[in-house]
Structure 1
Amino acid sequence: MNWHRIHALALRHLYPLKRDFDLLSDMAYWPLVDTILWGVTSQWIADTSGVAGVATGILLGLVLWNVLWRSQSEVSRNLLDEILNNNIANLFSTALTIKEWVVSVLLLSLLKTMITMSILLPAVYLLYKVNVLQLGSWLAVFFVGATFTGWWIGFISAGIVLRYGLRMQTVVWTLPGIMLPFSAVFFPLDRLPTFLQPISRLVPTTYIFETMRAIVAGASVDYSMLAYSFGLNALFLSLAVWYFVRSFVYSKKLGLGRFSR
């Protein structure tokens, strides 16, 4: 594994940040719009319900959901970007290996997620007086769990695009989107329809958001739920990376030039 190639690939995706407003809006504009929308909504729900901690729970859920979204986005959309720019065949005709590409996009996802968080955390505090740092060391635990979930979603999406081509590029947006209700981001798990709850229990982030709400409410933490969450993440991430690599090998046999338009 060559760190010079990893660094070079990371720079290839960082340089456009200076002039690409699509990337900047995805990292800052839309998260801020979500913050304003859900912040106002959460305050209205809190005022009408009279339940303490509702607004805080919703806003903390929003912050953690942005961690997941940014993490998966860097994996799947970076690959899609190479394909749409007719660069994927050029990229892997060099000495770059698939392992180096994976390491590079994971580092990029961490960096860009931290940039988004550096914008969201002050915004949530200044607008709604919600201090995300009140979670203390739990914030790091939730960050890691949401990041791992984002990564395996991203690898599955990228693997599907590699195997089936651009006609399946919609999964880059729809797959993480469908995870939103099943993760119980803004509401407790028991509020889901009964027949959907078994699906939600297979989603690692469900237990992260449930634990987060328990901490906000001052309830005791069920450590077994978190252990189960991280176990699911480890399993799904391993399977997702395996599927992505298999899809890459399959696509390379067919010829990466088939993606050229």
Structure 2
Amino acid sequence: MQMLVWGFMSVFLAGKTSYVAQAFGVLLSGALLWDVLFRGQLGVCVSFLEEMWSRNLCHLFVSPLRPWEMMVGLMALSVMRLLIGIVPAAALCGLFYGFDVTSLGWPLLGFFVGLIVMGWGIGLVVCGLIMRYGMAAESLAWLLGFALMPVTGIYYPVAVLPEWLQALAWTLPSAYMFEGMRAVVVEGQFRADLMLQGLALDVVWLAGGCAGFMALFEAARRHGQLLQQGE
């Protein structure tokens, strides 16, 4: 993954001397916003996995707790975990490098929402897969985020990718968010079109994540797997 990411980055930077002057802000903004997506997804998965590791999942589902309430709870825990991790990281950027991520202005809130919602969609599907197929699917909690990293355009535009990968990238809400971030940092321009397209895709991703979680929950319930989960 590192080879792909930095390979595409090198292709983009070749001959782009005007971009290099803004690279510092782009790299730090990209790293922090990527953390929002990754931690948002991982926060959902880890909160769910902790219930499985403690063999508490069966107790939750014999209680009046409904699946949609669990999804809301996982997303809320994800936000708390994310803030605990991202706020100190943003503060350290200011302390060590003099970079203030809030200089992105109010579009930062849109980027935050767009990326964490995509993370929720991925995380809910992963949780459903773990319920259905057991701990063998646990590695997906860490793998899926990194698998998307080269095509999501964190540090370089989607246009750098091969055409067949560009088609895949534009199905990801994150691609629109990172393109919008670069427009703010490099051009000082807010691209409302990118923001709206990304948020519209977020609705699809979150709806798909919720539907996937519910379908996999029902499949696990029918096969009696909810009472068998744990380390």
**Scaled by the length of structure 2, what TM-score is found?**
0.87
What amino acid is the match of 2:149? L
What amino acid is the match of 1:239? G
Aligned twin of 2:229:
259
Aligned twin of 1:64:
33
| Larger RCO (CA within 8 A; separation ≥ 6) | 2
| Cα distance in structure 2, aligned partners of 1:84 and 1:107 | 20
| Cα distance in structure 2, aligned partners of 1:95 and 1:58 | 46
SS of structure 2 residue aligned to 1:165: helix
Task: Return closer, same or farther for 1:258/1:128 CA change in 2, 3 Å cut-off.
Answer: same
Aligned twin of 1:90:
59
Aligned twin of 1:7:
none
Picking from 124, 128, 146, the partner of 2:93 is 124
Q: How many residues align?
A: 216
Shift of 1:55: 1.1
Picking from 131, 137, 141, the partner of 1:168 is 137
> Are 2:125 and 2:213, in contact at CA under 8 Å, matched by a contact in 1?
yes
Shift of 1:204: 0.6
> Are 2:44 and 2:124, in contact at CA under 8 Å, matched by a contact in 1?
yes
Which consecutive segments of 4 or more residues in structure 1 shift more than 6 A?
Answer: none
Query: What pairs with 1:173-212 in structure 2 (closer than 5 Å)?
Result: 173-212=142-181
Task: Return closer, same or farther for 1:179/1:70 CA change in 2, 3 Å cut-off.
Answer: same
Aligned twin of 1:74:
43
| Cα distance in structure 2, aligned partners of 1:55 and 1:219 | 15
| Cα distance in structure 2, aligned partners of 1:104 and 1:237 | 15
> Are 2:36 and 2:115, in contact at CA under 8 Å, matched by a contact in 1?
yes
| Cα distance in structure 2, aligned partners of 1:82 and 1:69 | 20
Unaligned runs of 5+ in 2: 1-12
SS of structure 2 residue aligned to 1:217: helix
Aligned twin of 1:4:
none
Shift of 1:67: 0.8
> Are 2:43 and 2:82, in contact at CA under 8 Å, matched by a contact in 1?
no
Q: CA RMSD in A?
A: 1.9
| Cα distance in structure 1, aligned partners of 2:48 and 2:205 | 20
What amino acid is the match of 2:119? G
Q: Greater CA deviation, 48-57 or 213-222?
A: 48-57
What amino acid is the match of 2:227? G
What amino acid is the match of 1:164? Y
Picking from 115, 124, 131, the partner of 1:146 is 115
**Scaled by the length of structure 1, what TM-score is found?**
0.78
Give the share of equivalent positions with the same residue, in percent. Answer: 29
